[in-house]
Structures are given as C-alpha cells and as structure tokens.
Structure 1
Amino acid sequence: MSDFLKHECGIAAVRLRKPLAYYKDRYGTALWGFNKLFLLMEKQHNRGQDGIGIGSSKIGMPLGDPYVFRRRSAEKDALANVFRKEMKAFHKMVRKGLLDPENPEDVKRKFDFGGEILIGHLRYGTSGGFEEGSCHPYLRRSNWPTRTLMVMGNFNMTNAGQLNRVLIERGQHPVFGTDTQTVLEEIGFHLDEEHTDLYRELRDKGVDGSDIPNLISERLDLVDLVRRSAGQWDGGYAICGVVGNGDMFVMRDPHGIRPCHMLVTDEVIAFASERVPLMTVFEASEDQVQSLEPGSVVTIKSDGTKIEARFAEEGPIYPCSFERIYFSRGNDPEIYKERKKMGAALVPQVVDAIGGAVDKAVFSFIPNTAETAWYGLMDGLRMFRREEVREALLKAMEEGNLDSSMIDELVMRNWPRGEKIAHKDIKMRTFIAQEKGRDQLVSHVYDITYGMVEEGDALVALDDSIVRGTTLKKSILKILARTHPRKIVVCSTAPQIRYPDCYGIDMSELGKFIAFQAAVALHRKAGRQSLLDEVYDDCRRELSKPPSEMRNAVKKVYAAFSDEEISAEISRMVTPEECDWKGDVQVLFQTIENLHEAIGGPCGDWYFTGNYPTAGGFATVNAAYLRWYDGVGGRSYDLPL
C-alpha cells in the first residue's frame, strides 16, 4: 500500500495445558510457553509497531505470592527489547543462584513470565496516545484474584462515548481517552458484581472465609460475564481477558469484522490474529487451526475446562476485506490465492489501458506487499496472450496460411514482461518539519531499476490500494516517470476507497480520500455545489435519528458518476505538475464484483460501498461528512459525551 495506513492490532495468547515440568522434560525448558508467545508475536510484527505489551498469569500460587504480571513498551524495537530484558533478568537470577532453571516450580514461582497463561499484544495506534500507557494489556488490580483483570484486544468501539455515559450513569468515574479503558471497566464492573453476589451468598450460608475464594473461582461464569459486558458494544473486536484466578476468555465480534484464530492440542490452547503464525510456531496443519465463530467466546477455566459459546445473536458476517487485500501476511494459503485472483481480475482493464499492446509494456508492482497480486496479474496476462495465440493459430490453419515464420511471430511476439522497477530503498524519518522539506525526503523513499523500460513502452504498476493519492502524486509517479515510459498505468487491487472505516483501520477522515476529492471536484466543475449542501443537511437529519434507523447519506455524493468517471478524475488529480515527463497517467481500480469473486466468501466492504455492518458505521460516515464540510479534522467517531 503506497499510502501507509495504521490498522488493526495483533493479539497472541498461549494457555498451557500441562504442568511446566512436562515442557521441561519434553522440550528441555520450562519457558516453552514464553518462547512460543515471543514467536507468535514476532510472526505478527506486521500488525503493530507503535508498542507492545505482554502479560502472565500463574495458576494456584501460594497466598502472599504475586500471580499477575505485565510489561509494556512503546520504545523502538519494543518487541525484541521487552523479551530480551525478561530473559536477561531470568539469566541474572540463575547466575546469582536465585533460580534453578532445571526446577520448573522454581521457574514458575520466581520468573514473572513462568505462568501457565501468557498473552501478548502488538499495537498500531489509531486513537489515544503513543506512549507506554496506551499499550495493552490493560490491568485492573485487586487483592481478590477473582476481581483482578487483564484485557487486551484488536478492536475499535464506534460508540465509546455512549459506553462511557453508561459508566457515568452508574456512578463510576471513567478515565477517558481510549475505548480500551471503557471495555476494561465494563467487564470489570460485571466481574465485581458477580464476585460480590457470590461472596455474599457464600458468606450468608456460613461458608468459612478461607474456602470462599476457591468456591467463587469455581462458580465464576465467564460466558455470562462476557454476554452482559458486550450487550451495548458497537464495533469490530477480538478481545482476550485474563482473570487473576487463572480463568481466561477470548471473544470475537458478532459480525466477524476482526480476525481471531485458535489452535487446540493436548499441550496448548493458543490464539492469534492470523492463522499462519499458529501453524508455523506450533508446527500445526491448516485444518488444525480454526477461526473463532463471530459472536462467540471461548472460555478456559483455571482447571483447564474449555467452553465455546455464543454471547451474541448470529447475524450477517462481514470480515474486513483489507485483511485479505493487505494486512495479513501473504503466506496464508487462502490469502495467497485470493491476492493472485485479485491481480488476475485486473487484466481486462489493464489490456484496454495499454491498447492491447502487451509487447510494448512493462509490468511491475509497488510496494512489496503487492507482489503476490502481481504474480496473479502476470498469470492472467499470459493466459490472455495464450488465448490470443490460440485463436490466431486456428484462424491461420483454417485459411491455410500457417508457416514457421507465422508461428515465430505469434508465439514470440507480445508476451508480457515483468520487472521489478520500484524499490523501497529506506524507511524515511520525517524529521524535517516544513512540508516542502518532507516532500523532498519522501520522493527518495523509493528508487528505480534503470534500463528496463524501453522507448515507446507503457509502464504498468500494481498497488494494493490507493487511499489518499498523496504518495502517488508527490513521490511514486515522479520516480516512475524517470524511466520515460509513453504512459504510466497504476492499478489498484482494491476498489475505490470512498467511505471512512471505524472498526480499527486509520481511515476516518472522509476529506482525505482521493475518491471523495474526485467526486467533489466533479460536482463543483458541473456547478452542483447545492448537492453537496443537500448532503450536509441529510447527514444532520440522519444523525438525529436513533442509531438503528440511520442510513448513509454520503452515497448521494457518488451516485451521479460512474466508477470510470471518478477514476479518470483521480488520474488527473494525481498526475505530477512539476515534472519534466509529460506522458499520460491512468489509474485503474478493482471492481466490487471482482473483489467479492476473488475472496469467495463473506466480505466486509463498507469502505468501498458504504454498506456498514453496524449502526455505529452509519453514524461515523454521516459525522465524517459534517466534519469535512465544516473544515474540522479528526476521527468522526470521536464524538462528545
């Protein structure tokens, strides 16, 4: 994705099913679970680089011994540094004779992360701050283990303001700033209530005080706790929670917007945002890793009892399609095939854009994450060319004109040429404050392979998606122009991004989308400012309705134009103005129909179509238009209480 986006975070959780002595005997280390957590997080480092956090819970610790631990960091290379520091502390204790690494019980009692439950979070911040305090897991401490709670997740709640109002109306004093805090306090409230009810019931029955904690732990109903906590949540989420007594839960939103996968073996129950890390880290087959059902929660009691149950009614499934297009690692077998299909689906548009002259074009990709789709594009172009050759040969045979020279011409001419033209040379740090200075820096993020584009060639560059168009205009197209092609065609494996996201991706400001800018420009060129005014009034009316009755009033902005008209305007807008090269630029986008066909299953496409899966989405898009119209920046779901 040439326009860099921050997006949904990554989660990893490891619940050991055997005593630590088992892993020491079989694998040579009592830190087997801790090592697996690191690998799960490392394999998902693409999902978050703003900070990380890890947590540990030890089951059955003696009274007086700590049982819940957490480390967080927002420093550079936080993942490696946090694990390095913990292992350094471990080996320091070993050297001083304070810990015996050959004794699993010693490891459990003295090493903070020698617990049976280990959780980790990788953060890409789309809200809140970027300091350590904004990193998950969040921790709510108590001197009762059954009231102590750690929570982490990959989520965004569109109605965080409403949820905070609920807390206030109860008499609580929430700390505003992140929906994570809201989620933690909501679950914590119901945990406190259930704990108090159980305590009073047992106390009134005359149960000895020393027996009460274990009885509360046994009777704590996590499924009911999750069901009551999530009743008013509106958003996409995969959330993991750990109670201090050793109970844990992992839940996924009712529409399956955010991903969550689970592996269950005799040794471990593990969770991750992506499937392949679980397969690789635990050497599991594809069919061993299952996706959590939307609207379901998996609970694991401290005694190891596992339950999977629904906490919300079954509804339409809308998994985020950007997971398939860009975010998830491409070595997942399903995602790899889908991305190749997305590339192949662009062939008819690409061939038309270059006038059918495949022999006078070079096909490349930018950035590296588009490489898999590029393989699909190249396969599709070869199939297109083979069909051309086949038809020409059949025609020549019918006419009796087939000879060796014709075969050479048909077979050797016009085959697609694939080259790596653009290279992301360095990761630029925008340490220069002035806009002009930053633009000059960004223009050198990429470099090119010289000499591959010949005179008269078109250059076709495949991108994952085009969001704002800024990088295209200010950097990429200027760089590609240095190859002096007759035409540059930029094709996106994603359709036009027209509407904001509110479920975890950093795409919330409507006015920054190049597709929206193009539609507005077309209206103004046609003298239809009044329509933009009408949409403003429509959005205000929609926001005055109950959430369940809201509709997307912004669709009217696009209704007057075809996809091709908007693409043409985008092409004009991103063409560099200060550039010696004067060739044509054409921008192509995937169609919605081809996207759905490539993915082949349920597909969340609200940022393309405006069809949101929850009421919060419609509130977001209407509020986003009002903010744009009024010249107000910021997230459109950061609404006041």
Structure 2
Amino acid sequence: MFDKFHDECGVFGIFGHPEAANLTYLGLYALQHRGQEGCGIVASDGLHLKAHLGMGLVADVFRRDDIFERLPGSSAIGHVRYSTAGGNDMKNVQPIVVDYSRGSIAVAHNGNLVNAQEVRNALEKSGSIFSTTSDTETIIHLLARSQSDSLVERLCEALMQVKGAYSLAILTETRMIAVRDPNGFRPLSLGTLDGAFVVSSESCAFDLIEAEYIREVEPGEVIVIDKNGMQSYFPFPKETRNTPCIFEYIYFSRPDSRIFNRMVYPVRKEFGRQLARQYPVDADLVMAVPDSGMAAALGYAEEAGIPFELGLIRNHYVGRTFIEPQQSIRHFGVKLKLNPIREVIEGKRVIVVDDSIVRGTTSRKIVKMIRNAGAKEVHVRISSPPTSYPCFYGIDTPSRKELISASHTIEEIARYITADSLCYLNLDGLHAALAQFGDHKIDFCEACFSGNYPVKFPRLRESNQLGLF
C-alpha cells in the first residue's frame, strides 16, 4: 500500500433532471479518486427516497442496469467514501437515509466533525440510538430533535452545534440542500445542466456530464433548491475565517478541477516552479512519482531547463489494496504500482518530484528502485512543506508519532530514504505560488505543516492522535 494520505470523500447532487440517478452515477465516477471503499446514490421521485449503496468502486456497486430502474425521479445525491471517521463497514456507506417524524432525509458528507464524539455521547445519554459509527449521523440526530418549523431552521440549528469540516449534499422528497462549513475546509461547487441544479465536490464532475460551472458554494452558505428555484442563506457568524484545505491543491483534487476559485493543474505546476527556484540542483533529468507528482515535476523541469522524462510508470489497474498470498512477497507492494524505465534512468543524475512524504517507507523504496535501475544520483524534491501534524478535518492521516517529519530533520529523512539530497517547498514558496492565481489572499488551513488548527478539538483527541502529551 502506498505511503500516502488517503483521500477523504466526495459528494454529488442534482435536482430537476429526468436522468438524475444516471447523472449522479457519472458524477461519482468522476469523483472516484476521493474515495474507493464504498459508494451510494439516493434518488427522489417527489414522494419517496430510494437508495442503492454498496462496498467497492462505483462501477462495481452500480454494475447492473436494473439498479437505475429502482432509482426513479428527477433528483438524486451520491457519495464516494474513504473512512476518515467510523470504520470501513457497510453500515457507514453514505448517503445516510433516515425516516423521521417530518418525512425522509438523506445526507452525504465530505469532511470530519471534531466534536462528533462529544455530541454523540450527549445524544445517547438522552435516548438517541445510532445505527452507524460515522460522525455524519450526529447531524441527522440533531436535525430530527429540533423543534423549529422549517427544514432550513432545523438544519441550521443542528449545524450550530457541531464543529469541524463539512460539505453536505442533502435530499428530501421535494428539495436538495447544499451546505459548506463556515471555514470552507472542503470544496463544493455549484453548476447547472439543462435547467437542473448540480453540486459536486469538484468541478471535474461537471465536465463529464457537460454541466456549466457557476460558482463555489461559499463558506458558511446554505443553498436550498426546490421546484421554485434556488435560495441562499448565510446563518453562521460572519467572523469565522475562511480556511480551505491547502492539501486539496497539493494532492487530493483532480488536476482538471476548479476548487477554491482556482484551477488545480496550473497551481501544482507553479509549486514545482517555486521548488526549482528555491532548491536547484545539477541533474540530467526530472521525473515524477506518478500521478500526484506529475504537474509539479513538469513545472520544476520547465523552470530549471532540465528535460522531463517518464522514469516511473504506474500500473493503473492496482487498487489501494491487493492480495498477498504469501508473506515472502509482501515487499512487492510498491513494485506492483510503479516500475522504473532503466533506459531512461541508467547513468543519469535524477531529480524525483513528489507531493509529500508521510512515513517515508514508500519514498525509501522508490529511491532504491531508481538506484537499482542505474541512476548515478537521486535528488528528491517535495512540492509541499514537511507534514508534521495530523488532520482532523476530513483527511485520514496517521498520528504525529507516525509522521517522519515530526521526529526527524530533513537531513535525517534524506539519509533514511537514501537520497543524495532532499528538499521541501517551504510555506513562503507555497504562498508565492498561490498568489499567482488570485487577487485576494486566502488564509488556507496549513495545520498539517504548522500545527495551527483553525477549529479546536477536544483535549482527549489531541493527546491521543498528536502524541504530544
């Protein structure tokens, strides 16, 4: 398994189109990179909610045509999941669908609530019974318990009681709601298709179904869509800082997506250019660790004036996990996914560009693989700062003690991965790159680099996961 941060989740929704479920399937297909453990679609025909959920990839869960015959209606929401909170279990696959005193509701959630366990404990003490271990269910319980008259009021009342990251697609029998948390940690875009409204974690899903991108759902915005059109609300306190996740640009989002009002691909290329300016080195070629390091490697090569080559080839037909019939072949994990081209590498001084180093074990194997292919020198360049702190806002990261940069200097990491040199893009370079693509400054969440968390979390979780106390 790759030594990488795991993607979080992806949400998609459409309201007012006769092919709602089919288009949601395509939208989830475009968002598959955000989660591969499970997926689901919930559709409404105006009277009832119908759902189909399963473990596995979108194409596997929805492999039969008759599934869509059981998802009628002109509105639908969908979700692809990686388990950032709750286990890898069928009961946690989303969207979560419930019936309560005021009807039916389905919720798809990208993000993580930092106070979910505390809210859950309080709800259970007062009699609530949970059917999943996902923190998303706490929002549904809070909504169902609200005595407010309108759905929007009940939803806002519930969200006022939770803290953390959430981009939500919500479906009832007659309306769809899109919500983004006040900090705007996770992306959520709004579009149109043949008069229907569409929401998606990333705009690449709009391209696939030929929808028109309109704008982002703003941080702290609640958008309600029904037969009368779209209404927008901003119920949260205005003093909350906009702190979108910087790692969406570094790794998670697809390079052909527009998030946080910028296209991802040129931003990643600029990270590479900044890296070349900060840390040049004499070499014969630049290569990437595919696929996440590709754009930054191209930017590095262009800025440095060094040829770019495909020195590592990725096997795209290997999933996140694979069958290991014997312990003796366990070390083949990286080789199943990457293979060096000796004719490109042999006898060369090589610059290898990647987006991040987590534990360092995979980087070590990759460097050794390149050396075994005949490289004379291997210089590693990382297009982000050292990742020294875990994320609590929707990314599955290890505890701090497992992050190599939390306990080792850059020189020590270089020795561990057996590189001739190792350099990371620093925060100033990161900010300089982003400044090329916007005329207003955004205070991105950089907690994984700095440890400065925009939304605080309970002390118990801090001590357990950070490993500081």
Task: Using structure 2 for the length normalisation, give the TM-score.
Answer: 0.90
1:493 matches 2:383: yes
Match of 2:234 in 1: 310
After TM superposition, give the deviation of residue 443 of structure 1 in Å: 4.2
Match of 2:446 in 1: 605
Superposed, 1:97-496 pairs within 5 Å as: 111-142=69-100, 146-175=102-131, 177-190=133-146, 193-194=147-148, 221-244=150-173, 246-264=174-192, 267-284=195-212, 288-301=213-226, 303-314=227-238, 315-332=240-257, 334-351=263-280, 354=281, 357=282, 360-382=283-305, 416-425=306-315, 427=318, 429-432=321-324, 437-453=329-345, 455=347, 457-473=348-364, 475-496=365-386
* Inter-partner Cα distance in structure 2 for 1:276 and 1:444: 28
SS of 1:141 mapped into structure 2: strand
Name whichever structure is richer in strand by fraction. 2
SS of 2:293 mapped into structure 1: helix
Match of 1:88 in 2: 66
* Inter-partner Cα distance in structure 2 for 1:88 and 1:433: 36
SS of 1:181 mapped into structure 2: helix
Distance 1:250 1:450, change over 3 A: same
After TM superposition, give the deviation of residue 593 of structure 1 in Å: 1.0
Letter in 2 for 1:616: F
Superposed, 1:50-61 pairs within 5 Å as: 50-59=37-46, 61=47
* Inter-partner Cα distance in structure 2 for 1:445 and 1:189: 48
1:145-174: CA deviation from partner (whole Å, max 9, x where unpaired): x33221111121111111113313433233
1:615 matches 2:450: no
* Inter-partner Cα distance in structure 2 for 1:8 and 1:381: 34
Percent identity reads 25
* Inter-partner Cα distance in structure 2 for 1:444 and 1:508: 23
Which structure's CA Rg is the greater one? 1
Task: Using structure 1 for the length normalisation, give the TM-score.
Answer: 0.67
Contact 1:500 1:620 in 2 (8 A): no
* Inter-partner Cα distance in structure 2 for 1:15 and 1:271: 9
Distance 1:443 1:37, change over 3 A: closer
Query: Is the deviation greater in 598-607 or in 506-515?
Result: 598-607
* Inter-partner Cα distance in structure 1 for 2:4 and 2:126: 41
* Inter-partner Cα distance in structure 1 for 2:84 and 2:193: 35
Letter in 2 for 1:321: I
Match of 2:13 in 1: 13
Distance 1:418 1:282, change over 3 A: closer
* Inter-partner Cα distance in structure 2 for 1:222 and 1:294: 20
After TM superposition, give the deviation of residue 420 of structure 1 in Å: 1.0
* Inter-partner Cα distance in structure 2 for 1:500 and 1:70: 34
SS of 2:112 mapped into structure 1: strand
SS of 2:339 mapped into structure 1: strand
SS of 1:614 mapped into structure 2: coil
Distance 1:332 1:445, change over 3 A: closer
Letter in 1 for 2:77: I
Letter in 2 for 1:309: Y
Contact 2:14 2:77 in 1 (8 A): yes
1:507-556: CA deviation from partner (whole Å, max 9, x where unpaired): 141111110131xxxxxxxxxxxxxxxxxxxxxxxxxxxxxxxxxxxxxx
Distance 1:417 1:437, change over 3 A: same
Contact 2:91 2:132 in 1 (8 A): no
After TM superposition, give the deviation of residue 72 of structure 1 in Å: 0.5
After TM superposition, give the deviation of residue 40 of structure 1 in Å: 1.1
Alignment equivalent of 2:24, drawn from 37, 44, 47: 37
Name whichever structure is richer in helix by fraction. 1
Letter in 2 for 1:271: V
1:378-418: CA deviation from partner (whole Å, max 9, x where unpaired): 11113xxxxxxxxxxxxxxxxxxxxxxxxxxxxxxxxx222
SS of 1:235 mapped into structure 2: coil
* Structure 2: gaps of 5 or more residues: 436-440
After TM superposition, give the deviation of residue 619 of structure 1 in Å: 6.5
Contact 1:51 1:124 in 2 (8 A): yes
SS of 1:478 mapped into structure 2: helix
* Inter-partner Cα distance in structure 1 for 2:265 and 2:324: 38
Contact 1:279 1:289 in 2 (8 A): no
